[in-house]
Amino acid sequence: MTTVAAQFVRLSADDFRDRLREALAIYVEAMRYPPSTAEQRAPMWLTHALREGWRGVAALDAGGRMLGIAYGYRGNPGQWWHEQVRRGLVKRSGEAAAEAWLGDYFELTEIHVRPGNQGAGIGEVLLRQLLEGVPDRHVLLSTPEGPTRAWRLYRRLGFVDVLRDYHFAGDPRPFAILGRTLPLEPPGTPGGQDPRPATFPG
């Protein structure tokens, strides 16, 4: 692991579009996807930047090279991810649980750090800065099942299980949907587990 001092900057939609290729390269490397995945994902990421409440944060090294990227937006009915998660929640936990989580939430769509810079706290700062000031009641995200640094980060910050071992259409891997109430606790404060049932935040 290479330890590099990072500067964190908020991205406008224009900034994001200008640096899309660099951000997608980090995504492909961090997720271990084939290089062709970047080209396939580019139109989707550009569409995301047009959605209500979109915001993005980047981590840069001293030379301006991107080390990490995070973005998200307000979740709404009709969005692919929203409808997929709603379908799974209704099937497993009922309409009330789906409405409780999906009635007012921010979707943390992507958060990735270059593999060589992982483990240095960049991901947590990206996540915290992305969510700072988000007005929605909850934040939700999906992450592949399995022990990873990302999992440890989400648990440390108080994310709880919303839906486990879920298969999105077109992807054979099992995913976990995790969520928590906003705002996050200040740095250095244990995130803690939400004491309410994981499938029905009140």
Any idea which residues carry the catalytic annotation? Answer: 154
Q: Are strands 138-144 and 105-113 parallel, antiparallel or unpaired?
A: parallel
SS3 content of the chain, % helix, strand, coil (to 5): 35, 25, 40
64 Ramachandran zone, left/alpha/beta (phi>0; psi -120 to 50): left
> Taking each helix axis from N to C terminus, what angle separates 122-131 and 149-156, rounded to the nearest 10 degrees?
50
For residue 79, what is the DSSP state? Answer: S
The helix (run of H) or strand (run of E) holding residue 65 is none
Specify whether the CB–CB gap between 53 and 79 falls below 8 A: no
